[in-house]
Structure 1
Amino acid sequence: MECIGVASRGIVHEVLTRYNYQQWKTLMKSYLRGENLWNVVENGYASTPIDAQRDAKALHIIQLSCAPNIFEQIEHLQTAHEAWNHLAIVCRSEFKVQPHILHDVVSDFSEHKALYKFVETGDWEGTSSYLRDQPHAIFWVPPSGRTVLHVATIEGHITIVKGLVHRENQLLEMQDEDGNTALALAAGYTGNIKIAKFFINAEGGEKLLAIENKEGEIPLLLAANSGRKRMTRYLYFRTSSDVIDKQSSHNRVLLLERCIQAHIFDVALKLLESYKELPIESLHVLHELARMPSAYLQASRWQTMVDSLKNESTIMNLCGLKSKNIQGVFGYKNEFLQILRYYKDTVSKLNSSQLRDDLVYDAMLEAAKHGNVEFINDMREANHDLLWAMDNHGRDIFSYAVLHRKHNVFQLMHTLCGNKDIINYSTDMFGNNLLHLAAPLGPLSDLNLRPGAALQMQREIQWFKAVEEVVHVKCRGAKNGEGKTPEEIFIETHKELMKDGEKWIKETAGTFAIVGVLVITVVFPVVFTVPGVLDPGIPFWAMEDRFTVLIVADVISLLASIITVLIYIDLQTSRYAPTDFLKRLPIKIMSGLGFLSLSLVSMMIVFCAALGIGVVILTGFTFILLVPSQLRLLLQIFQFITANPITGHQKSTFIGRIFRKLLLLPIKACRH
């Protein structure tokens, strides 16, 4: 570990960017007040050593809390007061009120208003009639600079577009007040590929691909910026390399960045293939690759499943797709991973200083934050030192994995062999070890996926226990800079979640206990009641098979209901310690729900045996509708108990596997 990358990260939850200024301002103001530094930020400071020291500390905090592009705006400023006021100007100027694309189409002018109304509503007969009477009106331009062709393009009226171009081809090159041609509007705003194809295939239409608007952007860049995938692909293959590189290589890098942001990976891959050697400025794209959500990268995992399934019909049944679409979905190649390989080769040629200057270390931390383990693996293969990227707080990628609850990155610790000890002992600048970082409540984005506060609490304990296993024993009781141990922080930050979990369990237990009592009141009298006569002269008890089924099912339903009520009464009176949420309470919920489901099914069998085939059909339909919803919750609780995605361990027993299959059968039956 010769070099440690240092990334610009702040005290607040998210660094300052162009889009989160108001939230950042509120959080930063609270933090500075807590540190008794707000006065020097708000009013400046007198020339005393103490105030100068406080100002330097406040300025340093603000600088650390800015994203790299924002930090560049204030790095030359010497006081916190100047930096704070300058950030207000810079960030607010990023938000400019832009008129809607349809603004000033028909209103705000009186001349030729009828013509524009015909075009806007798609009335070609009215448009043609008006232009026959006033042919010069076709070139008339309102204050917005938008001709009738611009309006027809915005509204998507292909018939009027064709008619106008056939009448006057010069309309194609006319630009509005923003410098946009009709093709530019189709590319960047409407995404109407039929209209775009017509423009380009028209006489002289290919010249439109090179016309820049006032921002210096060609239609291809506008399409990529809007994330219009089909339009971007089409325009890329119609736009020559000379047009893309007309000003500088910056356009190509900008297009590459926008394609990656919009997940247009096939075009991004073509752009990379056009380079003999990637320019240094293209390394900034690494941040976009690193921020790719881990959920999007499931394509590579799906590919493994496809390769393992030899029966194509099975794949189609699983995905609900026709065979010709399978290759399009799974790809049989992952463009994202291919793009990573290009950057992997480039990164492998850079020295430590270049890696820092080009913010590659920062990209590693971004990847850890978003759970992009594919990015981390490729970059560490390019340069193993990147695995030890660290921010200004002394937090590495594993710290980020714990803070943001990214279990796939956390599992990389098992591959470190001897180097794992470095992480086990490490602490950040606030004296926090990994277990301290696992103690606070996790991100809401992770917890919202959990079925109920109790299982949220269970997942939090699983994280705490998983980290506890990898840190050194002395770290478990170590105190951070605030004098708190990990366990103290965990209990303090999870009080509300524990209350919510206890409330969720008691409400669930109360509801299911009432259902269990109702079932008992229904099935209990059946044992002591002799059924009546079904047909004249034939008592029900004479039908031995149905009578036996009725009695057995009734006894099972009664016993299962009693057990259910006893379990949920126990839940109502149980103690609720943090460790109880790990296994004891979820197992009781699962057991009670299982017995309740058994009692309900048995009760339906009792009624079916007593009343005949018509009721069998009706109750079977009811079972298909209602029971699977409860079984899904039961299966989800079971998975929480037997599987731990944080460590990658799967606790599976023979009974557990049988139970899982039994739970899945009715759910699969419903889907089919």
Structure 2
Amino acid sequence: MAESSKAVADVARIKREYNQALNANVSNFVTVKLSGYENYDFWHAQMMVLLEVYNMSGLLKDDDDVWHSIEGSEIWNRYDKLLKGWVLGSIDQEILPDHANSICGTALGLYEDLQGLYDSDKRRPIEEGMDDRMLMDVSPNDKESTEFMKELLNATMEGSWWKAKAILKNHENAATMVINNNDDTMLHLAVREGKNYFVNQLLNFIKDGSEIAIRNSQGHTALHTAATVDNKQAAKLLVNKSNELLNVKTRVGNFVPLDLAYFFGHIKTFLYLLEVARDMPGLFPSGIRYRFLGVHGLLANATSTKQYNLALKLVEIPELLALATKDDNALFALTTNFPPELGFWEALIYPFPVAVFSLIHLLICIIIFVLLLPLSMLYPHLWKGLVYAGLPIKHIEKRKRDYGEAIEVLKRICKEMNKKVTAENFEKLYAQPILEAARVDACEVVVEILSGFVDTQECRDERGHNVIQLATLNRSEKIYNRLSPGIKHSVSLRNMSDDSGNKLTHFAAKLASSIVLSRTTGAALQLQRELQWYEEVKKLMLPLELTHKNRDMETSEMVFTREHADLLKEGEESCSITAALIVTIVFAAAITVPGGSNQETGIPLFKKDIAFTIFAVCDALSLFTAATALLVFLSILTTRFAAKDFMVSLPRRLILGLCALFISTTAMMVAFGAILFLVFCDQRPWMLAPIGLLACLPILVIVTLQLPLVLDLYQSTYISSIQNIGNGTFVFKFKDEQGLQDVVENGVWIVNSKPMVVQKWDISVDVNKVEPSILPVWIKMLNIPLEAWSVKGLSALASSLGKPIIMDAMTTRMCTQGVGRLGYARVLVEVDAKKGLKDSIDIQYCDKSNKTIATKTVKVEYDWKPPICSRCQVFGHSNDKCGLNNSVEGNKMDVGYSENNDNGVKQQAQNKKDNVEELI
């Protein structure tokens, strides 16, 4: 009974002491890393002290009753994993692969494996065929008994080939002799230290290629060492010397060099060894050791380090792709480090030939080299600045390439994972990647995952946040635009909330992270952007849904006010500072009379000079615009700074003030340059060049610093949001009702020679299935009789096809002025899908008794012939792509393009008479 009580007490003690062991500082006890049998005893002694301090030594004993009684329980598993972590953390990486088979087992199994290999008392017997040198107990003093061995060791570590060569002349066999306690040869050490020139010279010195296959105490050849330390260049030299090294296996684990490169995640070395070892059988065995890789897999490493070119090569290997897609680590790593698309200016610059920029850059370098050669002190700094000036182009090129490679890697990973995904395991494979994509706005990842398994949008993180909520919280604009249309039509999606009762508007009301805020310049613009997000999300909700309170009893309005209080204050201060700074520029252009005036009349002496006139005009312009800027910024100072003012009112004033500031600064510098030329240059025209260049400097500075702010203000304030929802359909969002009405009532919009149908959205419109039945199309009417070349005649012809709207400029001139082309008439006609698309128009000429006496045919061509379905009677798809099982065979209409060469002259349709719509 007493023994039973003691056992229960011991188990309770073990549970209590786990947290102490969990926080142990192992490095205070184990100060060495186990690298082989030569330091095993010291490592073992330190490890045992650590285990005894935390009462864990029983884990390594089979006869410990207390630990044996709880074996397999949750607390025992925790201790076992903790001990295994301690052991793995204190093992040198070079010997770690030798014990890969034990890593997935228990801590006791791993410890016994180490003990059996390195403990002198329990060392395993030498296996048949093994090199005896691995287990020979050779005293260090015997190895270093001669002075030349010490010198050879030092020369190898330094990479000094001339020293080593001098020694090897007298001791040629020393090139393959053991020179340290780990049984390393010169080749092992040189490869490990990265002395590749030394390696090359040593390989040339060693005549027999078989002699480089010597193994050290871990059973590694020099090629194993190269794979372990990621020395690709040394691996090339060794394989070129003897490709038989590719098939040499370690004594423990039977690893070839390719296995070690894979195990340690050395991508470049792995790809090289794979390339030269293509004929090796079983490159990717499904042994237990490969399960240990986890997040350290090659593909995850490549994407984590943003080496997308290497990642693309890796996914081209079917066996590796199959291994990498067993879990979500590779996809998660790619999502976390997915490169962004090029910005507007970068995309504009990139298509230009890089070779042209490189040539221009080279010519500029040569010219500056010649001009600045005498300035030897300043030249290095100027040269460095010039070189860096050319880097952005190369940077854009690299970003473009990275993005394309990342897209290809993403598609291949998702394609492979889609083969394995089921309704039961989709969260395990896709939850982490898609949620991380929502955080970092990796829209491409979200689209690719959803296209394969749409249910992943319902995945939630540990706080109950799903994809759309995380996208809103992290201001992931592209993902939000992609998913938000579906929320409008779904009550369940609109009412979704997290574990704290927060709805989507609460997430929009929360302050964005500092990283997101830093994308926008200034507190005023930041607050404006936050307001735009909040207002955008509010549009998805019904009015009553906006009054919903979370568990903290806060509505979204309350959350927004609380979260953005500090940002509102900063926005007010930033406007005040801007207004204070502008005052110093307003009075910079002082009104003076250069050269003096006539004492009797007061007329300036330089009145008749052109330079003086330029000065007077620019000086006045500078003063007026500076005063305007001052008044604008003073009005900002007197604004009440309510949150809504940051939406339109304040940005509009900032744009006006900054533009006035640009004009004022430019005019002031022109005026100053004119006076310099007038007073000091004595009518020497060549002086205009340096004056003009120097005057441009402050203008360029202020434009460079403030123009991006003006563009951001204009874009965020006036440019409407546009969403491409696919299928050629776009959603335009306007700031106010007036802007929407202007677009809808402005008539027909032509984009890239194709008409764009503009329709006001309401709750009955499904934006994903918009296929119009009436469509404006540009037509060409050929072989028109001369008598029909009039507004009425063309109106009659076009009315047989649909409702005529406008004629192009050339057709209008031909009808009204009698000049232009007679080959064809070009008219925009609203065509009804119910009537179809005609290829010709017949004109019948009748006598007084309405008897047809002649017929002429006008041929009809379409600039863009839209696909039409005679079954559905709509445009957008052809008969063979119709979802209905129709038996009506229609002509397949291919989409074509033509260049729009008219000037957009617009006519109005009116005066319906006898079903003829007249164009005037």
TM-score (norm 2): 0.52
Letter in 2 for 1:618: L
Residues 167-215 of structure 1 deviation map (CA, whole Å, 9 limit, x = unaligned): 4456744566776654355445454x43221111112x35347646979
CA separation of 1:290 and 1:277: change in aligned 2, threshold 3 A: closer
Find the partner of 2:241 among 199, 202, 208.
Answer: 202
Alpha-carbon deviation of 1:476?
A: 1.9
Pairing 1:435–2:505 present: yes
CA distance in 1, matches of 2:345, 2:265: 25
| Alignment correspondent of 2:335 | 292
Moved more, 477-486 or 333-342: 333-342
| Alignment correspondent of 1:3 | none
Contact 2:311 2:409 in 1 (8 A): no
Alpha-carbon deviation of 1:449?
A: 2.7
| Alignment correspondent of 1:467 | 537
| Alignment correspondent of 2:277 | 239
| Alignment correspondent of 1:384 | 454
Letter in 2 for 1:477: T
Residues 473-527 of structure 1 deviation map (CA, whole Å, 9 limit, x = unaligned): 22322100111111212222222333333333333332233333xxx1x42432x
CA distance in 1, matches of 2:517, 2:489: 31
| Alignment correspondent of 2:325 | 282
CA separation of 1:458 and 1:532: change in aligned 2, threshold 3 A: same
Q: Please give the residue correspondences for 1:369-518 in structure 2 after superposition, counting only pairs within 5 Å.
A: 369-391=439-461, 393-416=463-486, 420-516=490-586
Contact 1:286 1:360 in 2 (8 A): no
| Alignment correspondent of 2:670 | 605
CA separation of 1:271 and 1:567: change in aligned 2, threshold 3 A: closer
CA separation of 1:462 and 1:544: change in aligned 2, threshold 3 A: same
CA distance in 1, matches of 2:412, 2:580: 56
| Alignment correspondent of 1:117 | 154
Pairing 1:352–2:352 present: no
Find the partner of 1:582 among 644, 647, 652.
Answer: 647
CA separation of 1:561 and 1:477: change in aligned 2, threshold 3 A: same
In structure 2, runs of 5+ residues without a counterpart are 1-21, 24-71, 95-140, 362-389, 678-687, 725-731, 740-920
Alpha-carbon deviation of 1:433?
A: 0.4
Counterpart of 2:325 in 1: which secondary structure?
Answer: helix
CA separation of 1:225 and 1:88: change in aligned 2, threshold 3 A: closer
Find the partner of 1:128 among 165, 170, 177.
Answer: 165
Moved more, 596-605 or 179-188: 179-188
| Alignment correspondent of 1:596 | 661
Counterpart of 1:557 in 2: which secondary structure?
Answer: helix
CA distance in 1, matches of 2:469, 2:555: 17
Residues 14-34 of structure 1 deviation map (CA, whole Å, 9 limit, x = unaligned): xxxxxxx99xxxxxxxxxxxx
| Alignment correspondent of 1:340 | 411
Pairing 1:632–2:708 present: yes
CA distance in 2, matches of 1:442, 1:359: 29
Alpha-carbon deviation of 1:321?
A: 10
| Alignment correspondent of 2:10 | none
Contact 2:511 2:560 in 1 (8 A): yes
Structure with the greater alpha carbon radius of gyration: 2
> How many residues are aligned here?
558
CA distance in 2, matches of 1:477, 1:572: 34
Q: Which has the higher contact order (CA 8 A, sep 6+)?
A: 1
| Alignment correspondent of 1:183 | 223
CA distance in 1, matches of 2:255, 2:657: 64
Contact 2:187 2:199 in 1 (8 A): yes
Alpha-carbon deviation of 1:125?
A: 1.3
CA distance in 1, matches of 2:585, 2:274: 63
Contact 1:447 1:456 in 2 (8 A): yes
CA distance in 1, matches of 2:289, 2:346: 35
Alpha-carbon deviation of 1:399?
A: 0.9
Find the partner of 2:203 among 141, 165, 185.
Answer: 165
CA distance in 2, matches of 1:446, 1:288: 24
Alpha-carbon deviation of 1:558?
A: 0.5
Structure number with higher helix proportion: 1
CA distance in 2, matches of 1:514, 1:451: 23
Pairing 1:525–2:575 present: no
Counterpart of 2:480 in 1: which secondary structure?
Answer: helix
Letter in 2 for 1:354: N
Letter in 2 for 1:127: A
CA separation of 1:208 and 1:620: change in aligned 2, threshold 3 A: same
| Alignment correspondent of 1:365 | 435
Residues 42-87 of structure 1 deviation map (CA, whole Å, 9 limit, x = unaligned): xxxxxxxxxxxxxxxxxxxxxxxxxxxxxxxxx9759xxx99x979
Letter in 2 for 1:561: A
Structure number with higher strand proportion: 2
Letter in 2 for 1:630: Q
CA distance in 2, matches of 1:278, 1:523: 68
CA separation of 1:547 and 1:328: change in aligned 2, threshold 3 A: closer
Contact 1:172 1:182 in 2 (8 A): yes
CA distance in 2, matches of 1:401, 1:364: 11
| Alignment correspondent of 2:623 | 558
CA distance in 1, matches of 2:610, 2:92: 78
In structure 1, runs of 5+ residues without a counterpart are 1-20, 23-74, 102-107, 654-672
CA distance in 1, matches of 2:171, 2:194: 24
Contact 1:173 1:208 in 2 (8 A): no
